[in-house]
Structure 1
Amino acid sequence: MRKSGVAEKYFRVVQDMYDRSRTVMRCAVGQTEEFKVEMGLHQGSALSPFLFAMVMDQLSEEVRQESPWTMMFADDIVICSESREQVEENLERWRFALERRGMKVSGSKTEYMCVNEREGSGTVRLQGEEVKKVQEFKYLGSTVQSNGECGKEVKKRVQAGWNGWRKVTGVLCDRKISARIKGKVYRTVVRPAMLYGLETVSLRKRQESELEVAELKMLRFSLGVTRLDRIRNEYIRGTAHVGRLGDKVREARLRWFGNVQRRE
């Protein structure tokens, strides 16, 4: 905390919170006797994520590179390189830097993925052990594919939207509730689940259409309208006061681009 420039008075407050702290463990048969907490952070504390991020920032200072070559969220780290040799070199640097400070890189949880692979077959090793190669991985809720496509992520966004829709069917399918209120609930609960992370995804027209079709199905169910009623999509959206999902994605993309530009 001192290295990060935190005021001494705040450092002492945090130190007092952890100094000589004791806790108990609760289990099915009751709880244990009190014991000392000599390392780690208070679970559930609002301050703990901030302290952990500060610790990781200091521990990784000498090996961390600028985004996008290194991305960190708590202890989830993504290392990007242009070759397998560079990946192995960076992995070893991270392992050495963390282990000499009491932390450990988990070999079983470490995976690597090649994007637009041109080098042919090959392996990545960490301390002599082969690292598992995958065709996709999930990071911060988003699925990244080795071929650069986003089809699986779109399908997961559609599924997340339906999951959110089912949670509020008691409101969305209630005929006593106005279409305006239903639209507001939909925009608040369902649509954010469908849009999560899409501002960084390069959607094709087919994938955007897939999202639009799913959304219109939800809106039609909510308003008690079927295709046999031959009501145009624009009227459905206007009744629920819900704009086109594609426009919302482009709006989020421009907002994200603006944030990136301001950071630079």
Structure 2
Amino acid sequence: DNWNGGITIGGSKISNLRFADDTTLIAASQEELVALLNVLEQHSAAYGLGINYNKTKVMIVDREHDNHREIKSIGRCEVVQSFVYLGSLIDNSGSCENEIRRRIQQA
């Protein structure tokens, strides 16, 4: 609740997106992400909930360093180049081009 992590979008600080049992954590660094995962784990445990690390993925978006493709995991989480969140493809390019192609193919 005193968390200062996350990123600023349109003047608002964003550290997570939540819908039902799907959560997306947003961090500016690997260290911040590990700290955010620890906070999530602690708060979840307080309510008898846990994190399924087999289903938990990390995506790095860093255009200056080719998205750190050499990093295979952070903590107990696999690093991926893309994932589907609430039915939409999110990839580390920051572009929606692949999502548009995917939806056209599904039509």
Root mean square deviation of aligned Cα: 2.3
Residue 68, structure 1, aligned to residue 14, structure 2: yes
Give a deviation string over 1:156-198, Cα, whole Å, max 9, x none: 211232xxxxxxxxxxxxxxxxxxxxxxxxxxxxxxxxxxxxx
| Contact 1:116–1:148 under 8 Å retained in 2 | no
Alignment map for 1:104-115 (pairs within 5 Å):
104-115=50-61
Q: Which runs of 5+ in 1 are unaligned?
A: 1-61, 162-264
Q: Specify every segment of 5 or more residues in structure 2 that has no aligned partner in the other structure, as ranges.
A: 7-11
Structure-2 residue corresponding to 1:139? 85
Give the alignment partner of residue 74 of structure 2, picking from 115, 124, 129. 124
Q: Which amino acid aligns with 1:124?
A: I
Q: Deviations over 1:40-65 (max 9, x none)?
A: xxxxxxxxxxxxxxxxxxxxxx4888
- Structure ID, larger Rg: 1
Do 1:71 and 1:78's aligned partners in 2 also have CA atoms closer than 8 Å?
yes
Higher helix share: 1
* SS of equivalent residue, structure 1 residue 98: helix
Instruction: Tell me which residue corresponds to 1:94.
Output: 40
Identity %: 25
Residue 14 of structure 2 aligns to a residue in which SS? coil
Larger relative contact order (C-alpha < 8 A, sep ≥ 6)? 2
Distance 1:109 1:146 in 2: 18
The one-letter code matched in structure 1 to 2:90 is V
Q: Is the 8 A contact 1:63 1:93 kept in 2?
A: no
Runs of 4+, deviation exceeding 6 Å: 63-67
Corresponding letter in the other structure for 1:150? C
Where does 1:25-44 land on structure 2 (aligned, <5 Å)? Answer: none
What TM-score does the superposition give when structure 1 sets the normalisation length? 0.33
Per-residue deviation, residues 13-49 of structure 1 (Å, max 9, x unmatched): xxxxxxxxxxxxxxxxxxxxxxxxxxxxxxxxxxxxx
Give the 3-state SS of the residue equivalent to 1:90 in structure 2.
helix
Bigger proportion of residues as strand: 2
* 1:116 alignment partner AA: D
Give the alignment's TM-score, normalised by structure 2. Answer: 0.76
